[in-house]
Amino acid sequence: ICLADKVPPETAWLNEIHKAAMADERVKFRSVNILNEASLEKVFICEGKFDFVINCAATTRYGQDNSVYEEGVYRLSLAAARETAKHSHRLYIELSTAQVYNSDKKSSNEESKLNPWTGLAKYKLKVEKELEDISGLNYAVLRPAIVYGLGDRQGLTPRLIIGAVYKELHEKMKLLWGRDLRLNTVHVQDVCSAIWHVCQHGKKGDVYNLADKGDTTQGFITQCISDIFGIKHDYFNTVVSNLASLGISSVAEESNEKHMEPWSKACKRDDITNTPLSPYLDQELLYNKHLYVDGSKIERSGFVYNHPNLTVESLRKTSSVNYEGFTKDC
């Protein structure tokens, strides 16, 4: 296994489990700027033939300028795909996102209408369309729902931290849009298993959604977080939510300011001087947008979700591993 990235493991915020995996003698790290053709080519030349090439690299922060996604998603992914096509390989896998689908109250399968509703998703979809035209590339695409679990920073972890903040503030947590908003999920271990499953059984042009069988909603996620931190929660009514949508940028800014201050104080109290974890939620993630995903197609090829439902315990484990320094006093 060869891991190629411009960020060295020592500065990549790896936890102990990740560090142990990197220390395995079967794993090699190569410092590579994927946007630099000569740098990327050296990986293939020096390491020899790869059966599978999996692109997990991308700018994953929300709310960035188009230029950021143009370089960190579109150009980067196509550079990796085009270099792979020059060399012998069995399959190239592009990790995309289920945010490429039209956001409505109907579950989206792989044939559903495409209408990406985040900047990240728009550029991921551009990449998907370009892959079709790269000569010699055997590729498959995976479109995961919200990914949570070990190492999660931007899936459910910000919501978990917000729950801890309200524990700290001794206040009720209130949310927009109600409990029925679909926020479908998939555990990171199932994402990894799916990648390997498609390596073994996928064929050129395959597209698979990844979403567990729990049909996760905002209401269920919030109830789990409330149970973990012993807090109360409620929802703004429809009128207030609709009014908020007219000024969602200001709402997001006000909300983030409210959450960031106690988070910073808690980190300081626990002598945490630097952390990639944050309660910050970009306004793109506060839209009234359903992430309602049918992840059953991959099951028909023999894949099994080992985490078929989001649970309080799986979220509790996520919180304890990912930010133990903050939760220990909560």
Q: Which two tokens stand for residue 11?
A: 């500065």
Cβ pair 54, 93 in contact under 8 A: yes
User: Residues near 163 by Cβ (< 8 Å), separated by ≥ 6?
Assistant: 173, 225, 226, 228, 229, 231
d(CA 223, CA 182): 14
- Computed on alpha carbons and rounded to an integer, the radius of gyration of the chain in Å comes to 20
* Token pair belonging to 91: 């399959």
Give the closest residue to 217 by CA, choosing from 166, 268, 290, 284: 290
66 CB-near residues (< 8 Å, 6+ apart): 119, 123
Pairing between strand 91-95 and 139-144? parallel
Total count of residues recorded for the chain: 330
Please give the model's pTM, rounded to 2 decimal places: 0.93
Residues 184, 212 contacting (CB under 8 angstroms): yes
Strands 139-144 and 233-235, sheet pairing: unpaired
Which helix H or strand E contains 264, and what residues bound it? helix 248-269
Residues 6+ apart with CB under 8 A from 283: 63, 248, 249, 251, 252
The per-residue pLDDT string of the chain (330 residues; one tens digit each, 9 = 90 and over) reads 999 999 999 988 888 889 999 999 999 999 999 999 999 998 888 777 899 999 999 999 999 999 999 999 999 999 999 999 999 999 999 999 999 999 988 999 999 999 999 999 999 999 999 999 999 999 999 999 999 999 899 999 999 999 999 999 999 999 999 999 999 999 999 999 999 999 999 999 999 999 999 999 999 999 999 999 999 999 999 999 999 889 999 999 999 999 999 999 989 998 888 889 999 999 999 999 999 999 999 999 999 999 999 999 999 988 776 655 333 333
